[in-house]
Amino acid sequence: MKQFQYICPTTQQGVLDVINKPGTKIIAGGTNLVDLMKRGVTAPDKLVDINHLPLKSIISTPKGLYIGALALNSAVAEHELVARQYPLLAMALKAGASPQLRNMATVGGNMMQRTRCGYFYDTTMPCNKRAPGSGCGAYEGVNRMHAIFGGSSQCIAVHPSDMCVALAALNAVVIIAGKKGERRLPFTDFHRLPGEHPEMDNHLAANELIVGVEIPNNHFAANSYYLKVRDRQSYAFALVSVAAALDIENGIIRHARLAMGGVAHKPWRLFDAEQALAGKPVSEDSFKQAAQLAMQGAKGYGQNAFKLKLAPATIAEALKHAAGLA
């Protein structure tokens, strides 16, 4: 690993004052960044440790739940309020990484983690995300894990998070601090599609810091499910994952929320399928129809074409679990 300078500011202002400089990176849990530094994928000159900022709280607010950016993934997953009111988030978190990693990884860091695309990690290979303009090795290469939605000729990498899929489905809001104060960004607008600039994973500016996320109150707690399909039963990234949340009254779906992981450069909300489910009776037929609708625009790139069948099956299955039919 390349040498770097380490600083540990104790105030948010102290962090904002230094993070804008080129070659500077924020470190929180470090589970992804330290790995990327060991592999030479990233080589910062300066690391800014933000662990001394008071951003670990998980608190109930009149509007919902506030989770500080430095709250540990394990702390959120095990939190009583999360288990009771937002079980979808707890399930997604527990499906991610390992107990050890969840004890290190933070909510903000989880959002900022990079893709696990093999070409991104291998510095001898072309990758537009790591080295803009060098090409995309995955497009016609080893792309079994890659995107079926929203890809571009520049990049078909997927965002690896489980937590983010649940937060996208729950209409969370990201609270971001900058020099001019705070701004709020819908979670679904935080991550971006690769387009012509796959080097940019999200819309966080270099001089900004994630301070927390808010999840609005909802009526999904009784009927939500996170289903993750992967190569082994635990401790593996998703081939396809689905966060499903239903608000059901007398056997009729009032509102539905659906998001997928492992299929796009960002957590992929299934807005059309959600709309189609609203007002429908709880039934396997409704779920299968919604799943087919969700697949519009999907595209396979060779090795990952199996996801075109796996994804709708996973959506329907997750909905069945959420509705209590499975």
Residues contributing to the site for other proteins (CB under 8 A): 1-6, 27, 30-31, 34-35, 37-39, 45, 47, 49, 51, 74, 97-101, 103-104, 149-150, 188-189, 192-193, 203, 233-235, 264, 266, 268-269, 271-272
The nearest distance, CB 251 to other proteins, in angstroms, is: 26
Instruction: Look up residue 47 and give its two tokens.
Output: 């690391």
SS3 175: strand
What is the rounded CA–CA span in Å between residue 36 and residue 48?
16
By beta-carbon proximity to other proteins, the closer residue of 282 and 298 is 298
By beta-carbon proximity to other proteins, the closer residue of 34 and 142 is 34
Report the interhelical angle of 284-294 vs 307-323 (nearest 10°). 140
The nearest distance, CB 34 to other proteins, in angstroms, is: 5
By beta-carbon proximity to other proteins, the closer residue of 52 and 60 is 52
Place of tokens 């971006």: 192
3-state secondary structure 211-260: EEEEEECCCCHHHEEEEEECCCCCCCCCCEEEEEEEEEECCEEEEEEEEE
The nearest distance, CB 110 to other proteins, in angstroms, is: 14
Could you give phi then psi for residue 200, rounded to 5 degrees?
A: -100, 115
Could you give phi then psi for residue 65, rounded to 5 degrees?
A: -125, 135
The nearest distance, CB 218 to other proteins, in angstroms, is: 17
The nearest distance, CB 48 to other proteins, in angstroms, is: 12
The nearest distance, CB 164 to other proteins, in angstroms, is: 13
By beta-carbon proximity to other proteins, the closer residue of 257 and 282 is 257
Residues 6 or more apart from 6 whose CB is under 8 A from it?
46, 47, 49
By beta-carbon proximity to other proteins, the closer residue of 45 and 140 is 45
By beta-carbon proximity to other proteins, the closer residue of 86 and 149 is 149
By beta-carbon proximity to other proteins, the closer residue of 294 and 323 is 294
The nearest distance, CB 5 to other proteins, in angstroms, is: 5
What is the rounded CA–CA span in Å between residue 136 and residue 55?
37
Instruction: Look up residue 315 and give its two tokens.
Output: 């959506």
What is the rounded CA–CA span in Å between residue 203 and residue 194?
12
Is-contact 191 152, C-beta < 8 A? no
By beta-carbon proximity to other proteins, the closer residue of 62 and 232 is 232
- Could you give the maximum distance between any two Cα atoms of the chain, in Å? 62
The nearest distance, CB 303 to other proteins, in angstroms, is: 22
